[in-house]
Amino acid sequence: MPWLTLIVDTDAEHAEALSEALLDMGALSVDLLDADADTPDEQAIFGEPGQPPPGVWQHNRVSALFEENQDINTILHNAATSIGLAKIPGYRIETLADNDWVRLTQSQFEPIPISARLWIVPTWHTPKDPDAINILLDPGLAFGTGSHPTTRLCLRWLDDNLHRGETILDYGCGSGILAIAAVKLGAASATGVDVDSQAVQASKDNAIANKVTDARFHLPDDAPSVSYDLVVANILTNPLRMLAPLLANSTREGGRIVLSGILENQAQDVMKIYKQWFEMNAPIFEGGWACLSGRKQ
């Protein structure tokens, strides 16, 4: 049986209320996404330590799944009216064919070679190179599966530059992939921090799946107040700007920092900020994204 997907773009004021109204009127599921995702206007959802995240994006895309026989136009009209929307927002309806969704989803994710010795492997695959450093990781709630250029840039940097026995801070750890990789590559220990409690739990689960015991994951207020040999932050440019003093303070004197989640045309701006504390290296680029690194002076 095919399904119907209603896709509506709306503002921050009405996004969550519209999502709830659509669920109340029969939607099987609702996703709320950044309508500007993968563009220069992409907005980070983050909060400073001790403060809650702001909540939703300024431009939101609500995607609701319905059974084929539903009157989507009437449902949207009623949902909009119920939350006080005077004008129906722009929308479209797409037909979703019936498939084996588990198999279809899994088929989109193959093992990802990061380097000659480092692979990201979904748990339903057999590692192509059993002798490599294989990180078992499935797509999930938290960012970081190895498929995005920023994650690959950071992983390759760790593979090429990590010193055995170092202590690592992964700020904005997402899935925990960088902290887990660091330990597997020889770090003495890794600490992951994220403002999202689901990301913290996902990181803990992924560490267990990879038999990594020397990685710990925390919300910001629970993280140890210590300095590290290496600080890694793969987030986005705006939070990297705001978090610069915190990340610099978390790096020991002579320690190193690695930053990604930065668009290529934003690299010089971010480097200028971090040069207050670090001697910065030349950026590395992939697919329009930048990876920056430096040593604390």
Q: What is the mean pLDDT of the chain?
A: 87
Alpha carbons 248 and 218: distance in angstroms, whole number: 19
Q: Which of 257, 258, 280 is nearest to 269 (CA)?
A: 280
The pLDDT tens digits for 48-98 are 444 444 445 667 889 898 988 899 999 999 999 999 887 888 899 988 776
Q: Give residue 212's pLDDT.
A: 97
Confidence grade of residue 100 (pLDDT, cut at 50, 70, 90):
low
Q: Give residue 49's pLDDT.
A: 44
What phi and psi values does residue 171 have, to the nearest 5 degrees? -95, 125
pLDDT of 165 above 90 = yes
**Three-class DSSP category at 181:** helix
Q: Which of 36, 10, 76, 43 is nearest to 261 (CA)?
A: 43
Q: Give residue 90's pLDDT.
A: 86
Length of the chain: 297
Q: Containing H/E element for 262?
A: strand 251-263
Q: Which of 5-14, 104-113, 181-190 has the lowest mean pLDDT?
A: 104-113
Q: Give residue 110's pLDDT.
A: 82
pLDDT of 105 above 60 = no
Domains observed in the chain: 3-98 (3.30.70.120), 107-296 (3.40.50.150)
Alpha carbons 202 and 172: distance in angstroms, whole number: 13
Q: Which of 122, 133, 190, 181 is nearest to 157 (CA)?
A: 181
Q: Give residue 47's pLDDT.
A: 44
Looking at per-residue confidence, does 201 or 46 come out higher?
201
pLDDT of 220 above 90 = yes
What phi and psi values does residue 222 have, to the nearest 5 degrees? -100, -5
Q: Give residue 241's pLDDT.
A: 96
Give me the residue label for tokens 């709830």.
20
Looking at per-residue confidence, does 167 or 105 come out higher?
167
The pLDDT tens digits for 15-42 are 888 999 999 999 988 887 776 665 565 5
Confidence grade of residue 138 (pLDDT, cut at 50, 70, 90):
confident
Q: Which of 20-24, 43-47, 82-86, 130-134 has the lowest mean pLDDT?
A: 43-47
Confidence grade of residue 122 (pLDDT, cut at 50, 70, 90):
confident
Q: Give residue 57's pLDDT.
A: 63
Q: Give residue 107's pLDDT.
A: 56
Q: Give residue 50's pLDDT.
A: 43
The pLDDT tens digits for 260-287 are 999 999 999 999 999 999 999 999 999 9
Looking at per-residue confidence, does 48 or 228 come out higher?
228
Give me the residue label for tokens 């590395």.
284
Q: Give residue 203's pLDDT.
A: 95
Task: Check if the beta carbon of residue 22 is closer than 8 Å to that of residue 64.
Answer: yes
